[in-house]
Every structure is written in structure tokens, then in C-alpha cells.
């Protein structure tokens, strides 16, 4: 019975859009090079974690492993990448140089 209760808690793990420690203004006062570097690093980490989740979920019981090991870090990496993307747009970091 206790094992079943523990598994039910894992089933509630998801990717809520607002679940993150990242604040929107985290990158606002960085240079464009720093913002772009952080954005690329966070996007790379999110892809790496998504691949690890996919690999874990292909095995029996893998959903539990992926939820416990990777899901929260994936949510945070995505939120940090989104915050960096917002700062890049705000500071016109991707605008072509004239």
C-alpha cells in the first residue's frame, strides 16, 4: 500500500510553465554576449536532459526514474532559457549590427 502511495505522488509530476526558481529579470543587466551564452548553455542543457528522459522512459519503470532524476532540472533549464531569450529580445541582442 505504501509503495502505491509513493507511485501516485510521482504521477503528478509535470512541466508547469510557472514552476521555476528563475526570475524574469535575471539576465536583464548582463551584456549581450553573456545573455546569448547563458541562453545557448541552458538550451543545450535542456536538450541533454530531454534526451536523458527519453532514454530513461524507454526502459520499464523509466518514467519514475526520469521524473525523480531529470524532470525538475529540465523545467528549470527551460525557464532559464526563456528568461535569457526575453532579455535578449529586450536588449536587442539578436539584432543585426549596422
**Does residue 5 form part of some domain?**
no
Q: Is residue 37 part of a domain?
A: yes
The whole-number pLDDT of residue 64 equals: 84
Position 58 in a domain: yes
| Overall domain count for the chain | 1
Residue 18 lies in a domain: no
pLDDT at 89: 92
3 domain-assigned:
no
* Per-residue pLDDT reduced to its tens digit, 57-98: 888 887 887 788 888 999 999 999 999 999 999 999 876 554
Contact at 8 Å (CB) between 24 and 35? no
Q: Is residue 4 part of a domain?
A: no
pLDDT recorded at residue 67: 80
Residue 16, domain member (yes or no): no
**Residues 5-52 pLDDT 10s:** 444 444 444 444 444 455 778 888 899 999 999 999 999 999 999 999
Residue 36 lies in a domain: yes
Boundaries of domain holding 80? 23-89
d(CA 34, CA 40): 10
∠ CA 90-36-89, rounded to 5°:
15
- The whole-number pLDDT of residue 57 equals 86
Amino acid at each position: 500500500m505504501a509503495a502505491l502511495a509513493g507511485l501516485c505522488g510521482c504521477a503528478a509530476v509535470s512541466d508547469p510553465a510557472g514552476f521555476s526558481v528563475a526570475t524574469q529579470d535575471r539576465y536583464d543587466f548582463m551584456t549581450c554576449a553573456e545573455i546569448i551564452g547563458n541562453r545557448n548553455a541552458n538550451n543545450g542543457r535542456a536538450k541533454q536532459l530531454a534526451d536523458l528522459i527519453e532514454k530513461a522512459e524507454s526502459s520499464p519503470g523509466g518514467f519514475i526514474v526520469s521524473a525523480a532524476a531529470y524532470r525538475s532540472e529540465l523545467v528549470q533549464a527551460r525557464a532559464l532559457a526563456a528568461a535569457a531569450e526575453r532579455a535578449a529580445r529586450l536588449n536587442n541582442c539578436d539584432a543585426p549590427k549596422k
